[in-house]
Amino acid sequence: MSDYDFDVLVIGAGPGGYVAAIRAAQLGLKTACVESRETLGGTCLNVGCIPSKALLHASELYDEVHSGALAKFGVKIDGSSLDLGAMQAEKDKVVTELTGGIAFLFKKNKVEWLKGLASFTDKDSVSVGDRTVRARNIIIATGSSVTPLPGVTIDQKVVVDSTGALALPKVPKHLVVIGGGVIGLELGSVWRRLGAEVTVVEFLDQLLPGMDGEVRKEAAKIFKKQGFALKLATKVTGVSVKGDKATITVEPAAGGTAETLEADAVLVSIGRRPNTEGLALDKAGLAVNARGQIDIDHDFATGVPGIWAIGDVVPGPMLAHKAEDEGVAVAENIAGLTGIVNHAVIPGVVYTHPEFASVGLTEEDAKAQGEIKVGKFPMMANSRAKANRDTDGFVKVIADAKTDRVLGVHIISSMAGTMIAEAALAMEFGATSEDIAYTCHAHPTHSEALKEAAMAVQGKPIHI
Ligand code: FAD
Ligand code: NAD
Mutate to test the pocket of ligand 1, among 142, 191, 286 (most ligand atoms within 8 A of CB): 142
How many Å lie between the centroid of ligand 1 and the Cα of residue 176? 24
Report how many helices (DSSP H) and strands (DSSP E) the chain contains, helices first.
13, 22
How far, in Å, CA of 221 to CA of 345, rounded? 28
Name the pLDDT band for 169 (thresholds 50, 70, 90): very high
Name the pLDDT band for 2 (thresholds 50, 70, 90): low
408: how many CB neighbours lie within 10 A of its CB? 23
Name the pLDDT band for 213 (thresholds 50, 70, 90): very high
Nearest ligand, measured from the Cα of 272: 2
Q: Is 100 in the pocket of ligand 2 (CB under 6 A)?
A: no
pLDDT at 257: 96
CATH class of 159-270: alpha beta
The answer regarding whether domain 6-146+273-334 maps to CATH 3.40.50.2300 reads no
Q: Pairing state of beta strands 112-115 and 125-128?
A: unpaired
pLDDT at 262: 98
Burial class of residue 187 (count of CB atoms within 10 Å of its CB; 0-12, 13-18, 19+): buried
Cβ(339)–Cβ(332) below 8 Å: yes
Closest CA to 137 of 288, 21, 266, 311: 21
pLDDT at 313: 98
pLDDT at 92: 98
Q: What is the mean pLDDT of residues 176-200?
A: 98
Instruction: Describe the strand order of the beta sheet including 197-201 as a list of residue ranges.
Output: 159-160, 265-268, 174-178, 197-201, 229-231
State the span(s) of the chain assigned CATH 3.30.390.30.
348-457
Q: What is the mean pLDDT of residues 96-122?
A: 98
What are the distances in angstroms from CA 24 to CA 20, 133, 314, 328, 339? 6, 17, 20, 8, 12
Q: What is the mean pLDDT of residues 159-166?
A: 98
How many Å lie between the centroid of ligand 1 and the Cα of residue 270? 16
Torsion angle defined by CA atoms of residues 84, 87, 93 and 96, in that order, rounded to the nearest 10 degrees: -70
CATH class of 348-457: alpha beta
315 Cβ neighbours under 8 A, 6+ residues apart: 289, 291, 293, 295, 296
User: Quick check: is 443 catalytic?
Assistant: yes
How far, in Å, CA of 257 to CA of 390, rounded? 40
Mean pLDDT of the chain: 97
Ligand 2: which residue has its CA nearest to atom 3? Answer: 181
How far, in Å, CA of 186 to CA of 174, rounded? 16
State the span(s) of the chain assigned CATH 3.50.50.60.
6-146+273-334, 159-270
Element spanning 47, H or E: helix 42-47
Q: Is 351 in the pocket of ligand 2 (CB under 6 A)?
A: yes
**How distant is the alpha carbon of residue 119 from its chain centre?**
27
Q: Is 11 in the pocket of ligand 1 (CB under 6 A)?
A: yes
- pTM value is 0.98
pLDDT at 461 over 70: yes
Model confidence pLDDT, tens digit, residues 64-75: 999 989 998 999
